[in-house]
Structure formats: C-alpha cells, structure tokens
Amino acid sequence: MYEEVDFDRRRYLGIALINPDAKGAALITGASSGIGAIYVDRLANRGYDLILVARNRERLDALAARLVDDTGRSVKAIVADLNDNSDLARIEQLLRIDERITMLVNNAGIGVPLPFLDSDIERVERMINLNVIALTRLTRAVASALVNRGGGTIINIASVAAIAPEVLNGVYGATKAFVLAFSLALDKEFASQKIRVQVVLLGATATDFWDAAGTPLEGIPSRMVMKAGDMVDAAIAGLDRGELVTIPSLPDFSDWDAYEAARQNMIPKLSLSSPASRYGVPPARPHGRHPPEAALSSTGER
C-alpha cells in the first residue's frame, strides 16, 4: 500500500526552498480526515511543511493539493497502513532520516467501544496495534532523531477515556490510558532534551470516528459533542500555553491539578517494604521473611 507523493508548489514555481523562518515539517498520522485533517490545516497555516500519513489516497491527495494552493507549503502525502509492519517501518525510517521533521502528531486511532464480550478480538488487536504499538514505534523513531536535531514536539492524541474508561466499554479506554501514561513518562524523560510532549484528552468530537466504530454520533447528547475545529484550536492553544496535558472540554483546569496532586501524593507510598496494615500481614523480619517462613527455613523445609 505504501506510496509517497510530493505536492510542492514552491518546487513547481521554482522558488527557493530555503527559508530562514522555517518551522520544519510536521508528520501527522491519520491526516486524511477528522481531527488529523484539521491539524494539517492549522499547522500549515502556522508555517509547517507537512507530511500526511493515512490509507485513503483520494482524501490525502485532495487535502494535499488544497493545502499547497492555499498555503504554499511543501506537502508530502504518504499512503500507508500503520497496521502493516512494512508500511510502519517505512514511516519510522522517514522520521529517522528526514532532517526537516520537527513535529510528530500521533493522531491515527480507531475505537472498538463494544462491551469486551461482544467485541471481535481480531478488531481489538488491530486497535491495540494502531493506538498503542504504532504510536510507540513512531515515537521511538522520532525521539532519537529529535534529540540529534536539537529538539522538537510530539503531540499524542489520547481521549478522556484514558481517565474515564467506564464511559465507553471495552479496550479502547485502556489503549488511551497507555497513551496518557506513556506521555507523562516521556515528558519526564525528555525534560533535558528540548523535546516537548503534549497529550490531548478530548471528549466526543464530531468526526467519522463514531461511525467507523459502529456507534453513531447521533446517540450522544449534542451538549457533549465538540466540533473538530474547536477541539483542535483548543489543543493548539494548550500547546502554546505549555500544557503537558490538554483537556479541551474541562471548564476548570484546577480539577485536573487536584487529580494530579492526589496521584503525586500517592507516588512515594506506592512501593514500600511492608503491606498496608489493612491486609493483616504480620510485619516483615530482617531479610523480608515473615515468621512462618523463617521457622520453615530453619527446619530445612521450604
């Protein structure tokens, strides 16, 4: 399936490609529709060149041609299935070798929001592969390259299901909880590397996602559904504000701060040498052995 097409108006017009103000290129997965297509538009207007990745060639080509006409940016459209190992490997290689790339938007994702017992396990596996494995491999590929390029930005599109897995059924929330935990860990690890990480926890957003998942958007109260353009504009504003976690819908961000403070408060207490007293386990003796174990080992029994 893999295929690359360059849409480069400046090249066609013979205008020099060297621009001292260039922001570099952003690679956006799932760029052919929905949230990814809006990121493409907004980032082009911010001066990024674009590398679009998705499977639907017609949609990618139409979007790329429009962008070149509207913004004059250099656009590469790559038809690739991120669930295909060889396509994925080629995108990883591009992230490693294309010196222009300064941003990765890990947006491609699908949902299988059925109850676990009703879901097709092959579809669930494809969702885990796309939402988790592809995102992880692409991040690994770009991160080393960004270190060598002096920095860059990784935006991971998660979901509010990361912290509210009860809202949807099944495995989807677990894949997005992975994206959140992964992003928090990366942010700590990259603190000294000039790599910005942002994770976006979006609620229901009006895209094809719901139809593709088999759960029509019409079933969700409209007061809970955000327009994709508004969602992306808020997420980009969150990026500009320096947020690690952006939750476009959350009216009062101190709610997240309180949640995060409770988590941070627990961290020093999550790994201790003794079980909590509520479990009624006798205190450990030196070397971590409990009295009955010590008695057994002194008689040679195990």
Closer residue to ligand NAP, CB minimum distance, 102 or 207: 207
Catalytic residue of the set 39, 172, 259, 279: 172
Of 133-172, binders to ligand NAP (CB under 6 A) are 157, 159
Closer residue to ligand NAP, CB minimum distance, 147 or 217: 217
In a 13 Å sphere around the CA of 99, the CA atoms on its Cβ side amount to: 2
Q: How far is the CB of 35 from ligand NAP (least distance, A)?
A: 4
Burial (CB < 10 A; 0-12, 13-18, 19+), residue 61, is: middle
Q: How far is the CB of 137 from ligand NAP (least distance, A)?
A: 13
Q: Is 30 in the site for ligand NAP (CB under 6 A)?
A: yes
Of 75-104, binders to ligand NAP (CB under 6 A) are 81-83
Q: How far is the CB of 34 from ligand NAP (least distance, A)?
A: 2
Report how far Cα 169 is from the mean position of its chain's Cα atoms: 20
Q: Long-range contacts of range 62-65, CB-CB < 8 Å, 24 or more positions apart? A: 63/31, 63/32, 63/37, 64/5, 64/7, 65/7
Is 172 marked active-site?
yes
Candidate segments 15-23, 66-74, 105-113, 249-257, binder of ligand NAP by CB under 6 A: 105-113
Strand partners, 156: 106, 199
Size of the site for ligand NAP (CB under 6 A): 30
Q: How many angstroms separate the Cα of 67 from the Cα of each of 48, 97, 152, 230? A: 11, 24, 23, 19
Closer residue to ligand NAP, CB minimum distance, 109 or 152: 109
**The only residue of 102, 107, 169, 198 in contact with ligand NAP, by rule CB under 6 A:** 107
Strand partners, 153: 103, 196
Quick check: helix, strand or coil at residue 289?
coil
Of 194-223, binders to ligand NAP (CB under 6 A) are 202, 204-205, 207-209, 212
Distance from C-alpha of 75 to C-alpha of 152, rounded to nearest angstrom: 19
**b (16+ CB within 10 A) / e for 261-292:** eeeeeeeeeeeeeeeeeeeeeeeeeeeeeeee
Q: Is 238 in the site for ligand NAP (CB under 6 A)?
A: no
- Residue 80 has a CB neighbour count (10 Å cut-off) of 25
Closer residue to ligand NAP, CB minimum distance, 40 or 289: 40
Q: How far is the CB of 214 from ligand NAP (least distance, A)?
A: 12
Q: Is 56 in the site for ligand NAP (CB under 6 A)?
A: yes
Q: How far is the CB of 25 from ligand NAP (least distance, A)?
A: 18
Q: How far is the CB of 108 from ligand NAP (least distance, A)?
A: 4
Pull the structure tokens for residue 282: 């006798």
76: phi then psi, degrees, rounded to nearest 5: -115, 130
Query: Which residues contact ligand NAP (rule: CB under 6 A)?
Result: 29-36, 54-56, 59, 81-83, 107-111, 130, 157, 159, 202, 204-205, 207-209, 212
Q: List the catalytic residues.
A: 172
